[in-house]
Amino acid sequence: MTFNPTANLAASTQYRGLVNVSARDDSDPGNAVGSPYTWTFTTGNVLDTEPPTIAGVTATPTTQVAGSPLNVSATVTDNVGVGGVWLEVQAPGGGATNASMARGPGDTYFLERAYSTVGIHQFTIWASDTSNLWNSAGGAFEVTPANVPTIEFAPPMSVDLGAPLNLTATVTHSVAIAEARLNFTDTEGVNRNVSMDSQGSSYWHVVPAQLRARSMSVFVWARGVDGNVNRTPVRTVSVQAPAGYVVLYGNTNSGWGFGPDNLSSPGPTVRVTLGATVNVLILSADRAPHNFYVDYDGDLVPDMNEPKTVDARDTGARITFVADREGTFSYRCEYHLSVMVGTLVVEPTPSAAGFPWLPVAVGILAVLLAVAAVVMIRRRKGGRPPRQD
């Protein structure tokens, strides 16, 4: 049972308490006390009128970098007993936190935590005693920007299919960089986190050539020797087929295809026009060595006058040639002749193919124009005939 007297009780005095039968408990509608209840108690020698004492208020350190721990402590005593101690911190620009302080050795109380907001933080230590008397004391500490690494990273917006991507960054720190890493998700959706090579403040990593025309996501993360870290925002690099190129994927067992998932043997037919400049990019779908050549004479051997790429394996291989002969030919990989084969059709130019009579017609028209010109000249030399009246 708890009761609150209407006035302070005298010290060193015996009192008698009485609960009569009109009292009821807190049930509904309330049970009455079966019989009156009395008891006695004696107050202490001294009436508690003194709130707790707070001394030795300290913030350690008084200036701390953002994200690092800072300890606020004080010595709290009371003539009867300390009920509790709390720390209230006002952040710069508004907002506050309030948390209980833990008891340390003797009469010390403390709270250690990290603060992220940069600026001056005002704080108040609140203490109460067992008589519900309160006291407070204040102080301040400063939070400075963390000494994080500085990262300059500007990847290209796009990269060609089959081309390796060399990603570079400039990473610095007021003391030294402990490590820098590149995190990237490739066009297959596989995420990798790799250590970057470095020389001085220059860091780099070469991302392998990609086989799909999709986007990659990349960012750089760095840690200083003091443990502080920083990272860049996620950037996107688009992997694109080079403009004006026929892209062919090769696989040892599946042949050729215009994509890594639609390979066949024989491969797709490539059609070009006589005299056209042909650009071809080949990619190794199985990361095995492949090349491309046009077998004009059908002897299954790449000859000196036949267009041929270097080998493609981890990177693509390109070739540019002029379709200088009309006809149907095979293109092949010289290492996998029977499986990696397709057809190249060099078609005649539209004028020659669609209008075979056009050259003859143009010649006839030219002759007729020449005859007409001769006739006109002769008429002009002869003059007009005399008029007959």
Residue ranges and CATH numbers for the domains of the chain are: 1-47 (no CATH), 53-144 (2.60.40.1930), 150-239 (2.60.40.10), 246-350 (2.60.40.420)
* Among candidate residues 246, 240, 244, the one with its CA nearest the CA of residue 307: 246
Distance CA 177, CA 282 (A): 41
> What is the per-residue DSSP string for 164-232?
-EEEEEEEE-SS-EEEEEEEEE-TTS-EEEEEPEEETTEEEEEEPPPSSSSEEEEEEEEEETTS-EEEP
Distance CA 124, CA 138 (A): 4
- Taking a C-beta distance cutoff of 8 angstroms, is the pair 365, 371 a contact? no
Distance CA 181, CA 231 (A): 9
Q: How confident is the model at residue 88 (pLDDT cuts 50, 70, 90)?
A: very high
In the chain, the percentage of residues whose pLDDT exceeds 90 is 72
Q: How many CB atoms lie within 10 A of CB 93?
A: 8
Q: Is the pLDDT of residue 13 over 80?
A: yes
Distance CA 249, CA 271 (A): 17
Residue 31 tokens read as 């049970």
pLDDT tens string 104-114: 999 999 999 99
- Taking a C-beta distance cutoff of 8 angstroms, is the pair 218, 183 a contact? yes
Residues 55-71 have a mean pLDDT of 93
277-284/246-251 β-pairing: parallel
Task: Return all residues near 261 (Cβ < 8 A) that are at least 6 apart.
Answer: none
Q: How confident is the model at residue 10 (pLDDT cuts 50, 70, 90)?
A: confident
Average pLDDT over the chain reads 90
pTM for this prediction? 0.57
* C-alpha Rg value of the chain to the nearest Å: 46
Phi/psi of residue 365, nearest 5 degrees? -60, -40
Residues 127-141 have a mean pLDDT of 95
In the chain, the percentage of residues whose pLDDT exceeds 70 is 88
Q: How confident is the model at residue 386 (pLDDT cuts 50, 70, 90)?
A: very low
pLDDT at position 373? 65
Q: How confident is the model at residue 162 (pLDDT cuts 50, 70, 90)?
A: very high
H-only helix segments in the chain:
350-354, 358-382
What are the C-alpha distances in Å from 89 to residues 94, 99, 218, 387? Answer: 10, 9, 39, 124
Task: Return all residues near 28 (Cβ < 8 A) that are at least 6 apart.
Answer: none
* Among candidate residues 27, 222, 54, the one with its CA nearest the CA of residue 136: 54
pLDDT at position 382? 56
SS3 call for 358 = helix
pLDDT tens string 19-49: 887 877 767 667 777 788 888 888 776 678 8
287 DSSP assignment: S
